[in-house]
A and B are shown apart, each in its own frame.
Chain A
Amino acid sequence: MSGRPKEVDVNAVVAIDNRLPSMEASRLSTLERLVDGLGPAELYWIAAWSAARAERLQRGDAATTGAAKAAAVQLTILYGSQTGQAKRVAAQLHARAEAAGLAARLIRADAYPQRELAKETHLVVVISTQGDAEPPDDARGLVEFVLGKRAPKLPGLRYAVLGLGDSSYPQFCAIGRQFDERLAELGATRFAALGEADVDVDAVAAPWSDSALEQAKQVLGTSQPVRVATLQPVPHRATYTREHPFQAAVLDNQPIVARDAGRDVRHVELSLEGSGLSYEPGDSLGVWPSNPPVLVEQWLGVLKLDGEQLVTHEGRSLPLRQWLAREREITRLSRPLVAVLADASGEEELARLLRPDQSAALAALMAEYQPIDLWRRHASDWSAEELVAALRPLTPRLYSIASSRKAVGEEVHLTVGVVDYIAHGERHWGAASSFLAQAGDEQSLPIYIEPNERFRLPQDDARDIIMIGPGTGIAPFRAFVQERRETGARGRNWLFFGNRHFSSEFLYQVEWQAALRDGSLHRLDLAFSRDDVAKVYVQQRLREQGRELYAWLQEGAHLYVCGDATRMAKDVNAALIDIATTHGGHTHEQAREWLSDLLQQGRYARDVY
């Protein structure tokens, strides 16, 4: 056997192409241009390469584009620069590397996708040290990442570090040195020794660049890029469920509103490593909270009960404090609880609220008060056993997941609005949000995945999507945009976001800016309600963009709404009906039908709470 495939009739190939329904003419012609002039060997190679790629796609492993891009680059030059000196040195080195025929790329540290580090084969880092051992601002994130516990092992990396500094400081070039040592610690190999340049930068930088470049040429010239076989953990069935939650380690717990925001919103990153759990964009994460310890003590104080007292309920014996902290719902009122309270206290006022014609008043009460407020007002004698029996079991809280696994690997991210406010003269907390807000580095949280099949990206990635997510409703759209970036989805992404203040509450601002720059977000419309005298909300932006929004929907776009159910979701719904009447020529009734059709088709999905 020669190994050479038998000859194929060219016309037959074209015929095959013509039968592909999703291949646009423009793509086909691009393809033809690309292969024009290639010989049979190259063409057969491309066919094999395409087949392998198709197979990977079918397996759902689509993270190939980034990797392919990174593999084409032989040498990555990263710089962290405060005054521009490191940038200049790095740029010169980059230009010379390219002139020497190396495929090199030059990236500022804060523009470097940190996930690519694990795939790098050859890396040069030029980084300054500010004052006494401070990194330059643009490299703070990278330095934290590399020096931190989440840095990947780098056995396949060969590197060289040039530090810039001012030797009149005790810790001259500290950042460069730390970086150099840390990379070695992570298993990487130096191809040039650490350089340490003083205020007269070029005295050291110039000879160092010369020799580093020489070394790089030798290393790259003589060896193929090092390929590291990454071991894939054997996927086992997800055994963690609501009833048997996974203990997820906290990787990050970061406020993402400014100090003057007047409220707290957290970005929480949890590790799924070893859990076998997987999720899709649109899914939620269930979190089993513990009630705030301060609140538990308040309960014990108000009810004059001993927290150490053992209480047996339904066959389980636990100290009362633990019942209240872990087992019972103590931050939300419910009708049965109001009934029990009305009964026990004999208060006519409470009993009246339970009458069928008072449901609005009861709802108002439940929205405004937590149980402890009622205990305080309607004090009566309770035994620990009665209390545990009267309270509902604690239930997990669901958070829309704010990450795509394709982008973050074995992590899951949440956007948590922290409920913590003063009412009726006392501080109040939300159970899960305050639990999450205080979750520290070494802690782990009981979690599980709650799939949400009704809030999914379109199967056809050529479809446009419109995302409306004010406040923490932004969370699933961070996942959507990450996912569509990683999969190279062809459709456009349009996001509407709103909050109170631009300067303090533009959640994930720098990520959206980066997404607009790299083309993974196509449009972003913003509404900040407290920046000017006139309050502006997302529904107003929808109306302003009505013509185009309607056109997107007519072309098949999917529309998603996430966030507040009581007002925002209704206002948005009304705005969509207005848009369909104004720009679609529908009557009000037709517009409602049109919208309910979209719902039926799964093209209008809501995740509201």
Chain B
Amino acid sequence: MSSSPSDLERIKIHSRYLRGTIAEGLRDTVTGAISEDDNKLLKFHGSYLQDDRDLRDERRRQKLEPAYAFMLRARLPSGVVTPSQWLEFDRLAREYANGTLRITTRQTFQWHGIIKRHLKPTIAAIHEALATTIAACGDVVRNVVSTANPVESEAHALAYAWATRLSAELAPKTRAYHEIWLDGEPLVEEPKQEEPLYGTTYLPRKFKIGLAIPPLNDVDVFAQDMGLIAIIEQGELKGFNIAVGGGMGATHGDGSTYPRLASVMGFITPDRLLAVAEAVVTVQRDWGNRSERKHARLKYTIDKHGLDAFKAEVETRLGFALSPERAYRFDHNGDRYGWIEGNDGFWHLTLQIESGRLADNGDRRWLTGLRELAKVHRGDFRLTCNQNVIIAKVEAAQRQVIDAIVVAHGLDGYRAHSGIRRHAVACVALPTCGLAMAESERYLPDLLPKLEALLESHGLRDAPILLRLSGCPNGCSRPYLGEIALVGRGPGRYDLRLGADFRGQRLNRPYRENVDEAAILEALAPLFADYAAGRQQGEHFGDFLVRTGVIVEDTPRIDTEVAA
């Protein structure tokens, strides 16, 4: 393997802190695209160029360029959205995007189908709504996620505060964003040092931070580059366990890439959180692989140097040692649907949004429904890492009004859904995602009834089973943590993976490779039968498969009770 820097490193260095020629590219009226190099930089601004892959070949024959449009992603720390922001985001979806809003697995919104001349007004409007898209993608610290737990209101407030601070501290500082999108004064000279943390080349690869408040692991804290596990004792935030080196992405047929769970390396008090985060980020900045992008995530840096060496370097930079990790316990990594009362007397309603897609389709007028809710709701909205939404901080007297809107727009499906449907997550995939090898979001509605019929025939209709669909091995839907996961290989073909646990603490294993739907259902049928017949009290499907030896566990499970 060559050790010269990857092409993207060259692009970053010469970008003048993410400026490149994006502004010029936006003015080119001959194409709906921008240059490849600029597209790489655009990611750091929260957007990238896609095209409608359903139309790609047809348009080639028509001598037309692909149907280019931009995906735009907001940076919403902890997934909190105010009603007025919601109304604005909804307007942008209808006016400039494809008429839908997409809740992502990282607790934020994506817009799809924004054509080039609408990109700037959309970003400007998001800025006006007091949100941003900077660093929603790119080789930087992305949107910081945290447990969407409005019930433990004080703990959630604290978690949200820390996630927000981390997000702000670790965001890029370049003025490029203002210049390009917000009509900021353009830079005439060569830029001075604009990025004290990142420097000219930013990070070797994306960097994800998630904060979990046990017993909820809805953020899948072990899938993060840096996971923070809040330690709360008697309602007081004592600090955080720090886990490093989680990540989902892999490449088919390349054993040197793999999903990995984060390793817990110690405990810190809240006052040291920013310093520790910065130290972990800068060690990755300096040690990460900059010639081979598929080996550039923190997980490979840690496996290359060893966790001990990595931790020692972090401690050297900090000038103090991390404390031993504290005890914690996770119950599950899903969302709790329906109404729930918080300990401050407010009520919170979690709605299931299949694949996170808010659109109006027949009786399911979800985009309109949420818009109507935003018009009357006085609390806030919280997006979850499972692509759902919480109507948070509702006064008891308001519940009826909210419920009426929910029912009128077909948003009350969570009440009757099967166990597997309530725990299904799918990435976007075709037709917009350039990486997709197979369908995901569009396939979920076809697949679910077939799985439901199978489960029902074994009396398992209500068994909660984590199902995760992914159009490619890169893992936006965190497929390696699904009890059942399909990872796309090609049109209509998937790797079937089984045996993760229900708490995001054990990776699944491949069970069938490159198979079609018939083979998937055929493989699952006997397993469902065995599970129905032989499960122990409260035993989850993934745990059952491991206990009975169907799946052999080879990744050490995160020890949950180390210090207990």
Residues of B within 8 A of A506 (CB): 64
Q: A256-B62, A259-B58 are in contact. Are A166 and B490 (CB under 8 A)?
A: yes
Asked if A508 and B60 sit within 8 Å, CB to CB, the answer is: no
Task: Point out which of B30, B55, B57 has the most chain A C-beta atoms below 10 A from its C-beta.
Answer: B30
Among B56, B62, B252, B493, which residue has its beta carbon within 8 angstroms of that of A137?
B56
Asked if B55 and A526 sit within 8 Å, CB to CB, the answer is: no
Asked if B513 and A168 sit within 8 Å, CB to CB, the answer is: yes
Asked if A257 and B67 sit within 8 Å, CB to CB, the answer is: no
Q: A36-44, A420-428, A463-471, A511-519: which lies at the B interface?
A: A511-519
Q: A512-B30, A526-B30 are in contact. Are A141 and B60 (CB under 8 A)?
A: yes
Q: A137-B57, A502-B32, A503-B115 are in contact. Are A510 and B490 (CB under 8 A)?
A: no
Chain B CB within 8 A of A608 CB: no
Chain A CB within 8 A of B82 CB: no
Asked if B67 and A503 sit within 8 Å, CB to CB, the answer is: yes
Q: A200-B253, A503-B32 are in contact. Are A132 and B490 (CB under 8 A)?
A: yes
Residues of B within 8 A of A526 (CB): 29-30
Q: A130-B490, A140-B57, A168-B489 are in contact. Are A258 and B253 (CB under 8 A)?
A: no
Chain A CB within 8 A of B61 CB: yes
Residues of B within 8 A of A166 (CB): 252-253, 489-490, 514
Q: Which of A135-170 contact B (CB under 8 A)?
A: 137, 140-141, 166, 168-169
Residues of B within 8 A of A524 (CB): 30
A492 CA / B322 CA spacing, docked (Å): 69
Chain B CB within 8 A of A484 CB: no
A19 CA / B64 CA spacing, docked (Å): 49
Chain B CB within 8 A of A177 CB: no
Q: Which of B23-46 contact A (CB under 8 A)?
A: 29-32
Asked if A255 and B62 sit within 8 Å, CB to CB, the answer is: yes
Chain A residue nearest to B58 in the complex (CB): A259
Residues of A within 8 A of B29 (CB): 502, 526
Chain A CB within 8 A of B192 CB: no
Asked if A140 and B60 sit within 8 Å, CB to CB, the answer is: yes
A504 CA / B63 CA spacing, docked (Å): 11
Residues of B within 8 A of A511 (CB): 63
Among A199, A200, A254, A516, which residue has its beta carbon within 8 angstroms of that of B61?
A254
Task: Point out which of B31, B59, B63, B65 has the most chain A C-beta atoms below 10 A from its C-beta.
Answer: B63
A513 CA / B61 CA spacing, docked (Å): 15
Asked if A516 and B30 sit within 8 Å, CB to CB, the answer is: yes
Asked if A510 and B65 sit within 8 Å, CB to CB, the answer is: yes
A198 CA / B253 CA spacing, docked (Å): 9
Number of A-B contacts (CB under 8 A): 74
A535 to chain B, nearest CB (A): 16
Chain A CB within 8 A of B345 CB: no
Residues of A within 8 A of B513 (CB): 168
| Interface size, B (range) | 20 to 34
Q: Which of B240-262 contact A (CB under 8 A)?
A: 252-254
Asked if A199 and B30 sit within 8 Å, CB to CB, the answer is: no
Q: Which of B448-506 contact A (CB under 8 A)?
A: 489-491, 493
A56 CA / B490 CA spacing, docked (Å): 53
B24 to chain A, nearest CB (A): 14
Chain B residue nearest to A137 in the complex (CB): B56
A506 CA / B32 CA spacing, docked (Å): 11
Chain B CB within 8 A of A64 CB: no
A517 CA / B61 CA spacing, docked (Å): 20
Q: Is the interface of B mostly helix, strand, loop or mixed?
A: loop
Asked if B60 and A169 sit within 8 Å, CB to CB, the answer is: no
Q: Which of B216-255 contact A (CB under 8 A)?
A: 252-254
A51 CA / B490 CA spacing, docked (Å): 58
B428 to chain A, nearest CB (A): 18
Chain B CB within 8 A of A558 CB: no
Chain B CB within 8 A of A267 CB: yes
Chain A residue nearest to B515 in the complex (CB): A168
Among B56, B59, B63, which residue has its beta carbon within 8 angstroms of that of A508?
B63
Chain A residue nearest to B62 in the complex (CB): A256
Q: Which of B43-84 contact A (CB under 8 A)?
A: 55-65, 67
Among A140, A169, A267, A502, which residue has its beta carbon within 8 angstroms of that of B490?
A169
Number of interface residues of A (CB under 8 A): 33
B487 to chain A, nearest CB (A): 13
Task: Point out which of A259, A267, A502, A504 has the most chain B C-beta atoms below 10 A from its C-beta.
Answer: A502
Q: Is the interface of A mostly helix, strand, loop or mixed?
A: mixed
Residues of A within 8 A of B60 (CB): 137, 140-141, 510
Asked if A513 and B62 sit within 8 Å, CB to CB, the answer is: no
Residues of A within 8 A of B59 (CB): 258
A509 CA / B57 CA spacing, docked (Å): 15
Q: Which of A241-275 contact B (CB under 8 A)?
A: 254-259, 267
Residues of B within 8 A of A254 (CB): 61-63
Residues of A within 8 A of B490 (CB): 130-132, 166, 169
Residues of B within 8 A of A199 (CB): 252-254
Residues of A within 8 A of B491 (CB): 131-132
Asked if B64 and A509 sit within 8 Å, CB to CB, the answer is: yes
Asked if A258 and B55 sit within 8 Å, CB to CB, the answer is: yes
Residues of A within 8 A of B252 (CB): 166, 199
B342 to chain A, nearest CB (A): 47
A506 CA / B68 CA spacing, docked (Å): 14
Residues of A within 8 A of B489 (CB): 166, 168
Asked if A510 and B61 sit within 8 Å, CB to CB, the answer is: no
Chain B residue nearest to A200 in the complex (CB): B253
Among A258, A267, A513, which residue has its beta carbon within 8 angstroms of that of B31?
A513
Asked if A168 and B514 sit within 8 Å, CB to CB, the answer is: yes
Asked if A258 and B514 sit within 8 Å, CB to CB, the answer is: no
B31 to chain A, nearest CB (A): 6
A55 CA / B87 CA spacing, docked (Å): 73
Residues of B within 8 A of A510 (CB): 60, 63-65
Q: A131-B490, A516-B30 are in contact. Are A257 and B65 (CB under 8 A)?
A: no
Asked if B30 and A258 sit within 8 Å, CB to CB, the answer is: no
Residues of B within 8 A of A255 (CB): 61-62
A556 to chain B, nearest CB (A): 26
Residues of B within 8 A of A137 (CB): 56-57, 60
Residues of B within 8 A of A259 (CB): 55, 58
Chain A residue nearest to B33 in the complex (CB): A513
A504 CA / B32 CA spacing, docked (Å): 12
Residues of A within 8 A of B514 (CB): 166, 168-169
Residues of A within 8 A of B30 (CB): 509, 512-513, 516, 524, 526
A472 to chain B, nearest CB (A): 14
B491 to chain A, nearest CB (A): 5
Residues of A within 8 A of B63 (CB): 254, 256, 267, 507-511
Chain B residue nearest to A168 in the complex (CB): B514
A56 CA / B514 CA spacing, docked (Å): 59
A510 CA / B67 CA spacing, docked (Å): 12
Residues of B within 8 A of A507 (CB): 63
A169 CA / B62 CA spacing, docked (Å): 30
Could you jot down 21 A-B contacts, CB within 8 Å? A131-B490, A132-B490, A140-B60, A166-B252, A166-B253, A169-B490, A199-B254, A256-B62, A256-B63, A256-B64, A257-B64, A258-B58, A258-B59, A258-B64, A502-B32, A503-B32, A503-B67, A510-B63, A513-B30, A513-B65, A516-B30
Closest 9 CB pairs of A and B: A199-B253, A131-B490, A168-B514, A131-B491, A256-B62, A509-B64, A256-B63, A508-B63, A510-B63
Using a CB–CB cutoff of 8 Å, the interface residues on chain B facing chain A are: 29-32, 55-65, 67, 115, 252-254, 489-491, 493, 513-514
Other than the known A166-B253, A199-B252, A526-B29, what 10 A-B pairs have Cβ atoms closer than 8 Å? A131-B493, A137-B56, A137-B57, A168-B513, A198-B253, A200-B253, A254-B62, A509-B65, A510-B63, A513-B30
